[in-house]
Amino acid sequence: MKFAIQVNEGPYQHQASDSAYQFTKAVLEKGHEIFRVFFYHDGVNNASRLTIPPQDDRHIVNRWTDLAKQYNLDLVVCVAAAQRRGMLDDNEAKRAGKDASNMAEGFRISGLGQLIEAGIQADRLVVFGD
């Protein structure tokens, strides 16, 4: 089965990101396919390379990055939601006249069309968070 995942909550304020990660990992380990993981609303904060959790806590951003490397996942961050929250990749930072980007490795910025495509291409779209 082919899944698309939508994450609407940030990495540490809600259980949604942890649940999305665990679900995605389990789906892949069972041999299913993830078409795309789309980060929307506060979920875009899962892509911040500047996240530094305490040493005894899980590092959710790194978990997503590692999973993307292992399974060649498409981790897409909504451009409008990202800009509102100060999440920028190199291209968006340059375009906006900012001196730095903060997008973690493995994530990319794109539009809502990527979410629509994921919903069309996947057998199931699973949404985590409000």
pLDDT digits (tens, 9 = 90+) for 21-37: 999 999 999 999 999 99
The whole-angstrom separation of Cα 61 and Cα 40 is 15
User: Rounded mean pLDDT of 9-31?
Assistant: 96
List, by residue number, the catalytic residues: 78
Say if residue 4's pLDDT is above 90.
yes
What is the CA angle 122-127-129, rounded to 5?
165
pLDDT digits (tens, 9 = 90+) for 42-101: 999 999 999 999 999 999 999 999 999 999 999 999 999 999 999 999 999 999 999 999
Considering just the CA atoms, what is the radius of gyration of the chain in Å?
14
Tell me how crowded residue 101 is: count the other CB atoms within 10 A of its CB: 17
pTM of the prediction? 0.96
Distances in whole angstroms, Cα of residue 45 to Cα of each of 20, 31, 34, 122, 124:
14, 28, 21, 24, 24
pLDDT digits (tens, 9 = 90+) for 97-123: 999 999 999 999 999 999 999 999 999
Q: What is the DSSP letter of 53?
A: -
Say if residue 13's pLDDT is above 90.
no
If we measure between CA atoms, which residue out of 100, 80, 83, 85 comes closest to residue 45?
A: 85
Residue 5 confidence (pLDDT): 98
Q: Would the CA dihedral through 106, 112, 115, 117 be positive or negative?
A: negative
Tell me how crowded residue 30 is: count the other CB atoms within 10 A of its CB: 8
Q: For the chain, which domains are there?
A: 2-128 (3.40.1260.10)
The whole-angstrom separation of Cα 34 and Cα 24 is 7
